């Protein structure tokens, strides 16, 4: 999808594995960021941050965070020498959003932020975007740039379209700090939920989506999106007559899939699922032809196919994650057998659904006990 950014259509869908953030205001003069999934806890003195020259953030509202700005943020963050890169990126994105959004206040606020996610990190599932969206919405709400939409007694609520657009704008800036030059699709999916269509840098929401159950499998094979994209680009340059039609076919698969999902909203029928399964198979073979497959993903497809289920890679490929469509008539015993088989390959597997809602604010009481415990640090 990235290579064909010029004209090709990509569909991006929200997966129902959620990232939670708890913000607690304080008067202790400290800002604390706690990220238990990646084992990070950082505390800064508000007074020290207040004294820092943050005039370099002035242009932060509209333009992309530059490499120079990120270097300055590193000085403000005061990293220990042995801090690993992904961890730095999460901390820098937080600091960037905190300083940019909260500097309009007379004094920077003291607060505790704890983020806990059901999404695996670094698996190409957009965990950094979900994180940026949570941080942006929490800080904008805490600094009263947007109102808290949750009314007393409600379990959950969502912001207005206008407020969601502001959240999305800031979350994209956070993503830029982490990734440099992201497409903006991941943060948009996290904000709006449901499904999005991406073409020529334009993102539009799909009106409605049928409820689809999937297995999401992490092969745990690390990959570099940058290297995979470069590989496809060089293959396209080397064999334009071969690779360009493959990209055109993938585009046609996206469009057919979009049409099928539209039909399924009104009345999903068994034949719709058969078509989706064929599209999944064709898409996976095309992605292999582009060189973004991996032996682990082939294994995933074979294991699920042995149980009559259809899978494809998701994200950049070259390892990472795959999705398997679960038909509504599927016996739970089959699902359990497939999960067991995938686990014995050394993969992590989640049974979930796609087309989930985007960013929401929840009352503490409405959260499941494991989520509450994770956010309370128990």
**pLDDT tens-digit profile of 319-375?**
999 999 999 999 999 999 999 999 999 999 999 999 899 999 999 999 999 999 999
In angstroms, the CA 317 to CA 255 distance is: 21
- Residue that has been written with the tokens 């982490």 in this structure: 178
Q: How far is CA 236 from the centre of its chain?
A: 28
- Taking residue 161's Cβ as centre, other Cβ atoms within 10 Å add up to 8
Per residue in 159-215, pLDDT (tens digit) is 999 999 999 999 999 999 988 888 899 999 999 999 999 988 899 999 888 889 999
Where do the H-state alpha helices sit in 52-144?
A: 67-77, 85-102, 127-142
What amino acid positions are annotated as catalytic residues? 128, 186
Residue 123 has pLDDT above 90, yes or no: no
**pLDDT band, very low/low/confident/very high, at 83 (cuts 50, 70, 90):** low
**pLDDT band, very low/low/confident/very high, at 80 (cuts 50, 70, 90):** low
At 62 the pLDDT is 56
At 144 the pLDDT is 94
**pLDDT band, very low/low/confident/very high, at 1 (cuts 50, 70, 90):** very low
At 165 the pLDDT is 96
The residue among 131 and 77 whose pLDDT is bigger is 131
Rounded mean pLDDT of the chain? 91
The residue among 178 and 84 whose pLDDT is bigger is 178
At 5 the pLDDT is 46
Per residue in 125-145, pLDDT (tens digit) is 899 999 999 999 999 999 999
Sign of CA dihedral 121, 126, 131, 134: negative
Residue 4 has pLDDT above 50, yes or no: no
CB-CB contact of 230 with 173 (8 Å):
no
Per residue in 85-94, pLDDT (tens digit) is 767 889 999 9
Please give the DSSP secondary-structure letter assigned to residue 66.
P
At 378 the pLDDT is 65
**pLDDT band, very low/low/confident/very high, at 78 (cuts 50, 70, 90):** confident
The residue among 241 and 182 whose pLDDT is bigger is 241
**pLDDT band, very low/low/confident/very high, at 222 (cuts 50, 70, 90):** confident
At 226 the pLDDT is 81
Both tokens assigned to 313: 């890679």
Residues 6+ apart with CB under 8 A from 217: 300, 311, 321, 322, 323, 324, 342, 347, 348, 349, 350
**pLDDT band, very low/low/confident/very high, at 82 (cuts 50, 70, 90):** low
Residue 84 has pLDDT above 50, yes or no: yes
Helix (H, G, I), strand (E, B) or coil at 136: helix
> What is the arithmetic mean of pLDDT over 97-119?
92
């Amino acid at each position: 999808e990235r290579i064909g950014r010029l004209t090709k259509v990509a569909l991006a869908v929200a997966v129902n594995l959620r990232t939670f953030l708890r913000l607690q205001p304080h008067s202790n003069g400290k800002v604390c960021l706690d990220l238990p999934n990646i084992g990070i806890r950082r505390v800064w003195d508000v007074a020290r941050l207040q004294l820092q020259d943050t005039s370099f953030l002035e242009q932060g509202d509209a333009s992309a965070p530059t490499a120079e700005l990120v270097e300055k943020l590193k000085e403000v963050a005061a990293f220990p020498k042995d801090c690993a890169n992904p961890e730095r990126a999460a901390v820098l994105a937080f600091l960037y959003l905190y300083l940019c959004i909260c500097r309009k206040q007379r004094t920077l606020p003291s607060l505790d932020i704890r983020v806990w996610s059901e999404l695996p990190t670094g698996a190409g599932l957009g965990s950094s975007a979900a994180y940026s969206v949570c941080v942006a919405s929490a800080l904008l709400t805490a600094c009263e740039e947007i109102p808290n939409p949750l009314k007393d007694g409600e379990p959950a609520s969502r912001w207005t379209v206008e407020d969601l657009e502001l959240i999305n704008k800031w979350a994209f800036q956070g993503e830029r700090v982490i990734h440099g030059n992201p497409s903006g699709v991941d943060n948009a999916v996290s904000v709006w939920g449901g499904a999005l269509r991406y073409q020529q840098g334009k993102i539009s929401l799909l009106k409605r989506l049928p409820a689809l159950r999937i297995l999401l499998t992490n092969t745990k094979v690390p990959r570099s999106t940058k290297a995979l994209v470069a590989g496809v680009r060089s293959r396209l340059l080397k064999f334009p007559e071969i690779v360009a039609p493959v990209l055109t076919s993938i585009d046609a698969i996206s469009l057919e899939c979009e049409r099928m999902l539209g039909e399924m909203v009104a009345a999903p029928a068994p034949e719709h699922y058969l078509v989706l399964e064929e599209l999944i198979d064709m898409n996976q073979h095309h992605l292999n032809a582009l060189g973004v497959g991996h032996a682990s993903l082939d294994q995933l497809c074979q294991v699920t196919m042995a149980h009559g289920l259809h899978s494809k890679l998701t994200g950049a490929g070259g390892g990472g994650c795959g999705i398997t469509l679960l038909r509504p008539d599927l016996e739970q015993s089959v699902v359990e057998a497939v999960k067991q088989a995938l686990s014995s390959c050394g993969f992590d597997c989640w049974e979930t659904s796609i087309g989930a809602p985007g960013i929401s604010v929840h009352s503490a009481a409405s959260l499941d006990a494991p989520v509450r415990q994770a956010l309370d640090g128990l």
